Chains A and B, each alone.
Chain A
Amino acid sequence: MSNKDLYEYALSLGDNALILGQRLAEWCGHSPALELDIAVTNLSLDLIGEAQLYLDYAAEVEGEGKSADDLAYLRDCLKFRNYLLLEQPNKNWGRTTVRLFLYSTFMALYLEQLQNSKDEQLSAIAGKAIKEVLYHKRFSSEWMLRLGDGTDESKAYVQKGLEDMWRFTGELFAMSDGEKRLCEAGIAVDAASLEAPWNAEIDAILVEAGLIKPPSQAMIMGRFKGHHSEHLGHILSEMQFLQRAYPGAKW
């Protein structure tokens, strides 16, 4: 392992939280109910808070005097390391719920392990984040049941969401060479080992919600190389606009 490996790893953890946080924030003022507007922006702020901790650490490891803000607002698509799943558009509440459910079920397992990391900073961040993520998992699981077991229309939306999102779930369990080295050093989580327990948890909720698990299929990946879908560029153009147009602006 090297500092470069650790930098990329912290960056990846931060980018995941940042991009999903940004996606959820898009619901602000547009949620199906006032109660959900507050709920989903709470979740968004949890994630952006986590992103700040990871990216601060990444900047420290990189040692070039950058801040978390520099990494978030002044980096281009190719350098982002988030899962492709998280940059996919929200489209509707059903699909947003599916993505949050798939991801936070995974992250709850992931952070449980990351708490034991030999890297003290990562283990401390994981200890804080897991409490938030366990709530995200509860919230999205409950919504999977409400929508799956709700009306024909709500069921159709989540079923379609599952089918659209499933092709991006393989990436959750894939590890870069750098992550494998960190894993051997006791720092990174062995993501591949989480696939079986993740599937068991997902299956349990899908059965209860009356939803059909999509068939095995070719998975779309790209985060190690910065090969993102077209959607990340659109997120960044909105998220980074202010710092790009008015460099160094503060308020």
Chain B
Amino acid sequence: MSKGNWDLFEIFIRSKNGLSHKHVGSVHATDAEMAIENARDLYTRRMEGVSLWVVPSKSIVASDPGDMEHLFEPARDKVYRHPTFYKVPDNIENM
């Protein structure tokens, strides 16, 4: 079996219930089931998580770095989108 035939999978881990899955890296595997096992052995050896997602890397659609200006620059001068202009009432603890 040559590793040249193995697909690349992106790995996402939920560190604990209630939090969302976060991207942690990638593994090679022949299929998704094996990707789960390889990810388990590579990325959860130190109790990093309670749930794994694997996604074929080829299924990921990425934004084009060349489009950065018109995608992200316009947000730069719109500070009013940050909720920092509101006063939090004294009795509210968890915002």
A93 to chain B, nearest CB (A): 8
Query: What 7 pairs across the A-B complex have the smallest Cβ distances?
Result: A39-B41, A35-B38, A42-B41, A33-B3, A38-B41, A35-B27, A38-B42
Is B33 on the interface with A (CB-CB < 8 A)? yes
Q: Which residues of chain A have C-beta atoms less than 8 A from B34's C-beta?
A: 142, 146
Q: How many A-B contacts are there with CB distance less than 8 Å?
A: 34
Query: How far apart are the CA atoms of A39 and B38 in the complex, in Å?
Result: 7
Q: State which size class the interface on A falls in.
A: 10 to 19
A90 to chain B, nearest CB (A): 16
A residues adjacent to B (C-beta < 8 A) = 32-36, 38-39, 42, 138-139, 142, 146-147, 150-151, 154
Query: How far apart are the CA atoms of A34 and B6 in the complex, in Å?
Result: 12
Q: Is the CB of A35 within 8 A of B1?
A: no
Q: Is the CB of A151 within 8 A of B37?
A: no
Per-residue contact bits, chain B 30-45, to A (CB 8 Å; 1 contact, 0 not): 1101100110011001
Query: How far apart are the CA atoms of A32 and B34 in the complex, in Å?
Result: 14
A18 to chain B, nearest CB (A): 21
Q: State which size class the interface on B falls in.
A: 10 to 19
Q: Apart from A35-B42, A142-B34, A150-B1, what are 6 other A-B pairs with CB-CB below 8 Å?
A: A33-B3, A34-B28, A35-B27, A38-B42, A38-B45, A42-B41
B residues adjacent to A (C-beta < 8 A) = 1, 3, 6, 27-31, 33-34, 37-38, 41-42, 45
Q: Is the CB of A33 within 8 A of B37?
A: no
Query: How far apart are the CA atoms of A151 and B1 in the complex, in Å?
Result: 8
Listed A/B pairs (22) with beta-carbon separation below 8 Å: A32-B1, A32-B3, A33-B3, A33-B6, A34-B28, A35-B28, A35-B38, A36-B38, A38-B41, A38-B42, A38-B45, A39-B41, A39-B42, A42-B45, A138-B37, A142-B34, A146-B30, A146-B31, A146-B34, A147-B1, A151-B1, A154-B1
Query: How far apart are the CA atoms of A2 and B41 in the complex, in Å?
Result: 41
Q: Which residues of chain A have C-beta atoms less than 8 A from B31's C-beta?
A: 146
Q: Which residues of chain A have C-beta atoms less than 8 A from B30's C-beta?
A: 146
Q: Is the CB of A39 within 8 A of B1?
A: no
A104 to chain B, nearest CB (A): 14
Q: Which residues of chain A have C-beta atoms less than 8 A from B42's C-beta?
A: 35, 38-39
The residue of chain B having its C-beta at the shortest distance from the C-beta of A138 within the complex is B37
Q: Which residues of chain A have C-beta atoms less than 8 A from B38's C-beta?
A: 35-36, 39
Q: Which residues of chain B have C-beta atoms less than 8 A from A150's C-beta?
A: 1
Known: A35-B27, A42-B45. A139 touches B37 (CB 8 A): yes
The residue of chain B having its C-beta at the shortest distance from the C-beta of A139 within the complex is B37
Known: A142-B33, A142-B37. A33 touches B45 (CB 8 A): no
Q: Is the CB of A35 within 8 A of B41?
A: yes
